[in-house]
A and B are shown apart, each in its own frame.
Chain A
Amino acid sequence: MTPIEGRVWKFGDDIDTDAIVPGKYLIYEASEIAGHIMEGIRPEFAGLVEPGDIIVGGENFGTGSSRDPAVKALQAAGIQAIVAKSFARIFFRNCINAGLAPIECAEAGKIEEGQQVRVDLAGGEVTVIDTGAVLEAVPLPDEIAGILEAGGLVEYLGREQR
């Protein structure tokens, strides 16, 4: 997979999906929710994020509700990867299924907001471009990487079908 480069927005531990997409917005589609992402924790975020940006989180990122729009609205806002010390398991699956790269990196705490990072999924590392620091990441198992590479589960199953 091609490495991903982008500017970092940093969040803490236990960021829950109710904070990413409050329940009242679930009536809408992901593209409509994009303007409200992270409203529960950082209301100004949706107005600042730009296509290609990367989120860096702490432990248990995406905990709580299984809501798919939490991933798809971040994607619709232009987020192209999420690096975190650990992920809540449903959120991790939702990322894979949406084709949004989730990268488990125990050293994610060493990355600062505003820095540029390069995420190499296949190689299992995250490079902080500003400092040159190389952080170890957990490579994705082949079975899962295939879904991400296809662009998500719909595309993956479509490819299998052909």
Chain B
Amino acid sequence: MGQTVSQKIIARAGGREEVVPDEVLWVDVDLAMIHDSGGPRRIWPMLTELGVGVFAPDRLVLVADHYVPAQNVGAAQILETTRAFAVEFGIERFHEAQGIAHTLMVEKAYLRPGMLYVGGDSHTCTGGVLGCLALGMGSTDLFGVVATGRTWLRVPHTIRVEIDGEVPAGVTAKDLILTIIGDRGMAGGLYRVLEFGGSAIAAMSVEERSVLTNMCVEIGAKTGIVPSDAVTVAYLEERGVEAEIGPASDADCDYLATWRYDASELEPVVARPHRHDDVVPAGEVDARVTRAYIGACTGAKYTDLAMAAEVLRGRSVAPGVLLQVAPASRAALAEALADGTVATLVEAGAHILSTGCGACPGIGSGVLGPGEVCISTTSRNARGRMGSLDSEVYLASAYSVAAAAITGKITDPRELIGVTA
């Protein structure tokens, strides 16, 4: 029996020829990421209790993204602890206010095909876009990895997600992953790895692919992975990294299931409050919005800002709606500044926020008040996620968020960019 790409990565990290689903084993971690919220302030006391330091500072990336900019003294203290940790343990790859961790790990090409990567955040799965096994965990797990370089894993079963056909204009990877989650339910991939392939994936940019892997946690999956290909290698080489195509699943590997989708049948969709698996076509929703939010590792890369600009060019945000944009990284902001995308957003009436996790986890700038209805490019809409328990969040693509900002209600964005539905 052949092995899936995920089995191969785990076997290699565990010093084994092969592994079988459901077995538990200890593995060596190639790279780890911790951030300001779950990182130093929680891990440092545990290291002290154990009387150890950081096992391999060169295999650790530290990012301050949740509490930047500090909104209060408590947040400022968390950031100070984060900086002090970087100094104390000599963490060279420390990035404060430069972007959201998951965006940076990809953008800076820290992740490579075949790596076993763990991060102290549930959206760590985003990194699977570069063909590595990217596993999200909590602070205590990351303490173990930081202290010893090792962790335990249960070998997952793999579901192959085969997407063929051409993605229509005005439709995005966000619409695709929301459609899949809507079909399968928020526990539809529990404990599984979703492995993406097919002609639609082959034709998709790394940025768009990363929306698929980002939201794999929203279907309960252990992670998502796009086995590396020419697109992956070109992306890494553009960033000055010598790369080659990494491990892939064997032709005779044992997938638990295969989910097939025809991309040409996709349409813009939204997930309704308060479940991200309550997914319906955007054109079928009749709801006014007070807030339009473009942010998070899911939906504020340069490509997302460009999509929003395509809708907003020459138009103005509707009265009674506040459009806020929190770019996912400094690089995304720089690129959007250089080609006039930011100017387009601002001229349309957008309020540009700081780079960071922002309102998505209900921590940073732009949280929602009681009664507010938000359409957002983020990944979760559980009750109270972005602020008040009495607010509502619809999840959608950057096209759809920008369209709603213009019309003041949930709208099929194709109406505004000259695409016939």
Residues of chain A whose beta carbon lies under 8 Å from any beta carbon of chain B = 13-14, 16, 18-19, 22-24, 26-28, 39-41, 59-60, 63-68, 71, 86, 88-90, 93-94, 97-98, 141, 143-144, 147, 152-154, 157-158, 161
Q: How far is the CA of A23 from the CA of B185 in the complex (A)?
A: 24
B74 CB to closest chain A CB (Å) equals 5
Assess the B140–A98 pair: CB atoms within 8 A: yes
Assess the A66–B384 pair: CB atoms within 8 A: no
Query: Given A19-B384, A94-B140, 12 more contacts at CB 8 Å?
Result: A14-B187, A18-B380, A22-B384, A27-B67, A63-B186, A66-B38, A67-B138, A89-B190, A90-B137, A90-B217, A94-B141, A153-B143
Q: How far is the CA of A76 from the CA of B389 in the complex (A)?
A: 23
Q: How far is the CA of A14 from the CA of B218 in the complex (A)?
A: 11
Q: Which B residues touch A16, using CB under 8 A?
A: 380, 382
Most chain B beta-carbon contacts within 10 A, residue among A41, A60, A93: A93
Q: A143-B26, A144-B24 are in contact. Are A19 and B187 (CB under 8 A)?
A: no
From B147, which residue of chain A is reached at the shortest CB distance?
A157
Assess the A153–B140 pair: CB atoms within 8 A: yes
Assess the A40–B389 pair: CB atoms within 8 A: yes
Q: Which A residues touch B24, using CB under 8 A?
A: 141, 143-144
Q: Is there a chain A Cβ closer than 8 Å to B329's Cβ?
A: no
Q: Which B residues touch A60, using CB under 8 A?
A: 186-187, 190, 220
Q: How far is the CA of A94 from the CA of B121 in the complex (A)?
A: 12
Q: Which A residues touch B137, using CB under 8 A?
A: 66, 90, 93
From A28, which residue of chain B is reached at the shortest CB distance?
B74
Using a CB-CB cutoff of 8 Å, which residues 309-363 of chain B contact chain A? 361-363
A147 CB to closest chain B CB (Å) equals 8
Q: Is there a chain A Cβ closer than 8 Å to B78's Cβ?
A: yes
Q: Which B residues touch A98, using CB under 8 A?
A: 140
B157 CB to closest chain A CB (Å) equals 12
Q: Which B residues touch A153, using CB under 8 A?
A: 140-141, 143-144
Q: A19-B383, A64-B380 are in contact. Are A97 and B362 (CB under 8 A)?
A: no
Q: How far is the CA of A148 from the CA of B137 in the complex (A)?
A: 17
Interface string of B356-392 (1 = CB under 8 A from A): 0000011100010000000000001011110001000
- When A and B form their complex, which 5 residue pairs have the shortest distance between CB atoms, in order from nearest? A23-B362, A97-B140, A60-B187, A68-B139, A94-B138
Q: How far is the CA of A161 from the CA of B49 in the complex (A)?
A: 12
Assess the A157–B148 pair: CB atoms within 8 A: yes
Q: Which A residues touch B26, using CB under 8 A?
A: 143
Q: How far is the CA of A100 from the CA of B191 in the complex (A)?
A: 20
From A70, which residue of chain B is reached at the shortest CB distance?
B138
Q: Is there a chain A Cβ closer than 8 Å to B95's Cβ?
A: no
Assess the B190–A26 pair: CB atoms within 8 A: no
Q: A40-B384, A157-B147 are in contact. Are A23 and B141 (CB under 8 A)?
A: no
From B367, which residue of chain A is reached at the shortest CB distance?
A24
Q: Which B residues touch A67, using CB under 8 A?
A: 37-38, 138
Residues of chain B whose beta carbon lies under 8 Å from any beta carbon of chain A = 24-26, 37-38, 42, 46, 49-50, 52, 66-67, 72, 74-75, 78, 120-122, 124, 136-141, 143-144, 147-148, 152, 154, 186-187, 190-191, 217, 220, 222, 275, 361-363, 367, 380, 382-385, 389
Assess the A26–B363 pair: CB atoms within 8 A: yes
Partner among A24, A28, A94 whose Cβ is within 8 Å of the Cβ of B363: A24
Q: Which B residues touch A154, using CB under 8 A?
A: 46, 49-50, 140, 143
Q: How far is the CA of A23 from the CA of B143 in the complex (A)?
A: 21
Q: How far is the CA of A22 from the CA of B121 in the complex (A)?
A: 16
Assess the A23–B139 pair: CB atoms within 8 A: no
Q: How far is the CA of A147 from the CA of B122 in the complex (A)?
A: 22
Q: A14-B187, A64-B380 are in contact. Are A144 and B144 (CB under 8 A)?
A: no
Q: Which B residues touch A26, using CB under 8 A?
A: 37, 66, 361, 363
Q: How far is the CA of A14 from the CA of B190 in the complex (A)?
A: 11
Q: How far is the CA of A88 from the CA of B188 in the complex (A)?
A: 11
Q: How far is the CA of A98 from the CA of B143 in the complex (A)?
A: 12
A120 CB to closest chain B CB (Å) equals 21
From B383, which residue of chain A is reached at the shortest CB distance?
A40
Q: A24-B362, A89-B190, A143-B26 are in contact. Are A64 and B140 (CB under 8 A)?
A: no
Q: Which A residues touch B154, using CB under 8 A?
A: 141
Q: How far is the CA of A104 from the CA of B286 in the complex (A)?
A: 40
Q: Which A residues touch B141, using CB under 8 A?
A: 93-94, 97, 153
B208 CB to closest chain A CB (Å) equals 24
Assess the A18–B140 pair: CB atoms within 8 A: no
Assess the B389–A14 pair: CB atoms within 8 A: no
Q: Which B residues touch A147, using CB under 8 A?
A: 152
From A23, which residue of chain B is reached at the shortest CB distance?
B362
13 A-B pairs with CB atoms under 8 Å apart are: A24-B367, A27-B67, A27-B72, A27-B78, A60-B220, A63-B187, A64-B217, A64-B380, A66-B136, A93-B141, A97-B141, A147-B152, A153-B143
